[in-house]
Amino acid sequence: ARPDAAAPDIVIEELPLGAVPPGTLHFPEANLRTARPNPRTGIVQINGYVLHGSDSARPLRFPFWVRARIEAGLTRVELTCALHAGDEVSASCLRTAVSRGYPFGGEGTAAAPERFLGRTARRRLAPGTLAEEALFHPRQDVKPRQEVSLLVRCGQAALRLKATSQTGGAIGETVTIRVEGARHALRARVAAPGAVEVTVPAQNATAAPQPLPQEGTHEHSLD
């Protein structure tokens, strides 16, 4: 979730008993992000420390904690339609909404609906469900058993042909593909939805550029 620009509302519920040395109170960001409010009371415990002592170059640390209610306006992404396991998320099924909640919850929900577009649900999800990473499979710009456009680069030469993916992956990831007529599968990088690339070490880096042939017109073997 993305906190609004306004500072969060903080209501202190409990502090440690006993004396606390005067100094500067610190709550590390990592502690804020890993803390989780009690789902029943909304109270969260944050662990920190007080820097104190006469030597500012080598201050002492005094452990300190606080239990409080911390809330802010959060921009969240919600589902507007029901999804079954394996259903793909479309733009019409997502909306952003502002609600109150703990503003330091790590990744949690994302404020950008585009983060979930094209991903598939892991289980059945009802309308109004907050979109979270754990609810969806990783995005796949190339899916298993999909026909893809393959671009083979070798120095200044390039060849475009068709292939079939054996595994899936997102842009920038590596997938396994097979070209009809080739004896072995190839590893290729996903360059765009439905498109992959393979770079072959050039035998002659000074070779003149060659035009891209039309798909299906090549007679080259990738063995």
Q: What is the pLDDT of residue 43?
A: 94
Tens digit of each residue's pLDDT (9 = 90 or more) over 129-163: 988 888 998 888 898 999 999 999 888 888 998 99
Query: How many angstroms separate the most distant Cα atoms in the chain?
Result: 83
Residue 214 predicted with pLDDT over 60: no
Tens digit of each residue's pLDDT (9 = 90 or more) over 39-94: 889 899 999 999 999 888 899 999 999 999 998 888 888 999 999 998 989 999 99
Residue 38 predicted with pLDDT over 80: yes
Q: What is the pLDDT of residue 204?
A: 46
Pairing of strands 147-154, 195-199: parallel
Q: How confident is the model at residue 107 (pLDDT cuts 50, 70, 90)?
A: very low
- Using a 10 angstrom Cβ sphere, with 0-12 exposed, 13-18 middle and 19 or more buried, the burial of residue 146 is middle
Q: Region 23-50: what's the mean pLDDT? A: 91
- Cα–Cα distance between 162 and 187 in angstroms, integer? 14
Tens digit of each residue's pLDDT (9 = 90 or more) over 177-198: 999 888 889 999 999 999 999 9
Q: What is the pLDDT of residue 203?
A: 63
Q: What is the pLDDT of residue 111?
A: 59
Q: Which two tokens stand for residue 59?
A: 């201050």
Q: Quick check: 111 and 1 in contact, CB under 8 A?
A: yes
**Three-state secondary structure readout of 166-202:** CCCECCCCEEEEECCCCCCCEEEEEEECCEEEEECCC
Q: Region 109-113: what's the mean pLDDT? A: 64
CATH, domain range 73-135:
3.90.1210.10
Q: What is the pLDDT of residue 154?
A: 86
Strand partners, 137: none
Q: Do domains 73-135 and 147-199 have the same CATH topology?
A: no
Q: Quick check: 134 and 101 in contact, CB under 8 A?
A: no
- Cα–Cα distance between 208 and 50 in angstroms, integer? 68
Domain boundaries, the chain: 2-72, 73-135, 147-199
Q: Which carries the bigger pLDDT value, residue 80 or residue 112?
A: 80
Domain 147-199 has CATH 3.40.50.720: no
